[in-house]
Chains A and B, each alone.
Chain A
Amino acid sequence: MNATIAIASGKGGTGKTTVALNLAAVADQPVKLLDCDVEAPNDHLFIKPGRVEERVSMVMIPEFDQERCDGCGRCKQHCRFNAIAVLGGKPMLFPELCHSCGACVPVCPRGAISEAQRSIGVARRGTKDHISLIYGVLDVGEAKSPPLIGDVKSALKDGAEGIDGQEWTGLTIIDAPPGTSCPVVAAVKHSDYLLLVTEPTPFGLHDLRLAVGMAQALGLKHGVIVNRCDLGDGALVRDFCVANRIPLLAELPFDRRVAEAYAAGQIPAVAVPDIASAYRRLYQRIDEVMAS
């Protein structure tokens, strides 16, 4: 399969990472696994790549020439993110609030603002067997992860500057952060298929609805996986999928062996053979629904 499959969920803790790791492990071809949950990446704890390469992720922030600045405050007026205050004729920047939009630079009538950079985290790459793992680690306390998620994804296509060297057109699996906000959108957009992992609880269904709304807004083909389908009310999600004509790709029962393998830092599909066959069937299902 040569496609980009993103794995998301509304609710956290449904099993995105488990699904992503299992899919990567059972692939019978080279695969790129992108851990875009950069606030709490953990795919690397299971893949255990030996040597990793690292690239610092930078974002633009304004730099003020205090000599040239006459304190007119136009930069502050144009900042939609309240990142600039102007007091006593001098600008004060709150870098952590800046969204790097750059609007303050051209509006300065004195040409006193230039573009500087600050780091927000690192993108790392390492390889284990047929899996090439690329993951981001956001600095602690940093609020905005989308630029780093962008760097993790661009490692697939960058040329000279990229971690990867050349564009990748094979199988890519994206492990997205939980939720449905900007970081998730940054992680899943442009993928060929979106797997939504949920659990059969009212909370799981509630957040699945939000995730489906996001998939529709982004125009992404999507299907649902119910994890721990026997813990809760299985009909909840099944009825929702039928009513909304969303493919229900797999219902995975709770399995203590999976929990034990995961807790020991092993990929469940590697540790438990019949889990591997369930995920091979999942590939077939994804193939079918992508073609339909």
Chain B
Amino acid sequence: MRRPVLLVDDHRVLADSLALSLDLQPDLCCAAVAHTARDGLSMAAAIPYAVAVVDLQLPDADGLDVVARLHEARPAAPIVVLTAHPKADLAQRALAAGAAAFLGKDLGLADILAAIRSADPARPQVQPGLRPSPVALTHRELDVLRQLSQGRDASRTASTLGISLNTARGHIKSVLAKLGVQTQLDAVVAAERLGLITVGSRY
């Protein structure tokens, strides 16, 4: 019995190659390939699958939301996150959202297949060697930094995160201090250089 795998990834070359690779395995097969979060969620509702492989960077939604919704809809099917941004803090957030594994896209096929085969929410696995952030920011500070990186100012950041304006300003100040910069824009660029966030993405 081959285990069907659902792929949600907007990167066509990688998704199609992985789909073909799954079909070539004696114990796995590709159930479906979705290039958007919307397609992925509707396919998940319509097609049986044993494991889902989800990219965090999707054109229409936050991949972490997709992970959470798939996990909620079918807790028995483990979710493997496959991302171009293999970062330690992102791994934590993915596992918290219900992922069973967190892997970088540059990992070899054998490792990816092994992770898909052994994915188990009870024993979450994270790609070894993920670099911890060189600057220790709190979860909230990272949230604020991500908002800044999307061009939001303090007041919009506050309303998006559901915190008060003063609290948001406090977080921004502490982010600037920890990164040793003067302006919010410099903070975004410095954080991107350090790999804390990726400008243009939600992470």
| Physical interaction between A and B | no
- Point out residues on A near B: beta carbons under 8 Å: none
Where the two chains meet, the residues of B that have a C-beta atom closer than 8 Å to any C-beta of A are none
